[in-house]
Structure 1
Amino acid sequence: MRLFTVDAFTDRPFRGNPAAVCLLTGPMPDAWMQDLAAEMNLSETAFLLGDTLRWFTPAVEVALCGHATLATAHVLYSQGATGRLEFTTKSGTLATERTSGGLIGMDFPAKPATQAAPPPGLLDALRVEPLWVGRSQFDMLVEVDSEETVLALSPDIDRLADIDARGVIVTARATRDGADFVSRFFAPRAGVAEDPVTGSAHCVLSPYWTAKLGRDSLVGAQVSKRGGTVRTTLRGDRVDLAGHAVTIWSGDLHL
């Protein structure tokens, strides 16, 4: 089986979010895939068999992952695939297409957040005063007052793991050039303390910031240590996510 590591949502090596991509040659047990994901120790490892795509963190299987889908499409396009690719996933059919400038676009479901009371312990763990708190299907969304606040976040990761959500997105309007909003994403409950760049979080961020800024097409900067850029376009109940990707290494799996 072929195995790859791809840096997603970046056009520079060692930036963006690294994902492993395993091209399965036949069905494998869930426990084997979970063990390999733990061995890779990246925020996600994608497993592709035919058109069926699954994603595992080092700790659990997840129902939606943007950067590992982008990484998978990048691998397939690099090997000669063309046109629209469709993947069968736990979040329905997801499609990708290579666009101009080397971008790969992805057709994902929108996951809008609705305003909600902060669950006990959330704000103490984040150590912030929120402007708005909401909950989407998978995650909590917290808007804060500034990009500087997002950059300075130093949450209590152990306490965040007690929050009943896949992860916590913290966001603010961008002040940097080339971006409309910034964010960071913490998912210790899923085995990922901080995810470098999170495509699925932008399924929440896109409808939120489109409503606030009045524009369907936006650019999000995820301001983790590695950093990355996600271009978003809201289309009703779908979100187009687009980004670059870079292959770091590839090899054969000896199992």
Structure 2
Amino acid sequence: MVAAEAVDVSVVYEGTSALKNVSATMFADRITCICGANGSGKSTLLKCLAGLEKPSTGEVRLLGQALDVLPRRKVAQQVAVMSQTPEIPLGLTVEELVEQGRYPHRPWLGRLTQRDLALIDSAISRVNLQSLRRRQIATLSGGERQRAWLAMALAQEPDVLFLDEPTSFLDIRHQAELLTLLRKLNSEEGLTIIAVLHDLNQVMDISDDVILMRKGEVLATGSADDVLQSHLLQQTFGCQVDVVPHPDGTGRNYCMIDWVGSGPRSRISAAT
């Protein structure tokens, strides 16, 4: 089943093209990662797919329906979005933030039902924030805040979860915790996830499908194994990228990047 689809989508800002006739398909029950260099259009594509940006031309479809004809409330019931730098709500606790995820499903000025409360409790529990549910968001660490925002998204009961660079401001441990949680939500609950990620090794570990963006266009799209190839990554990022077997012997691969092209001392196993 197709979860989201862009058909010949273009976005133009003040005469400058951010996306140029982009077509891409993202499937349900899978994790799709959108990758590319800065300015490649990956976040713009994500916003179009999530209904946060209106294409200049072309069409976006959500679960088989044209997005621009769906009522906003209906879209909010089907889609949850975690932005790159969500604003920190002053005075709001974790529980109060997660409650906001139920707004698209509640009647105007309606009270929380028992089902709403159960879903809020479940969302907080699934991200392991039970002990912090009364804490104000502003007092949490970066990783805890990301989990709180994810809990709010889960409380929406979305069919599709969109994330824009969710690990950008987290340390390595919290990045690993968040990505592990996302993979668990996908594998155990069937949540469809579409994410913009910078780190290619994270993309290799978490994604089923990958969309490579370059200068506002789709360079390649398909399964992670087919797309995450050295020659395609080198075209995408404009630097030497080698895909090599991981030393753990499990058969998986990882990326090695020559940051400055000055020989062996410059090569490290990471990507941005």
Give the TM bin, normalised by the shorter chain. Answer: under 0.3
**Structure with the greater alpha carbon radius of gyration:** 2
Q: TM-score, normalised by structure 1?
A: 0.28
More helix by share: 2
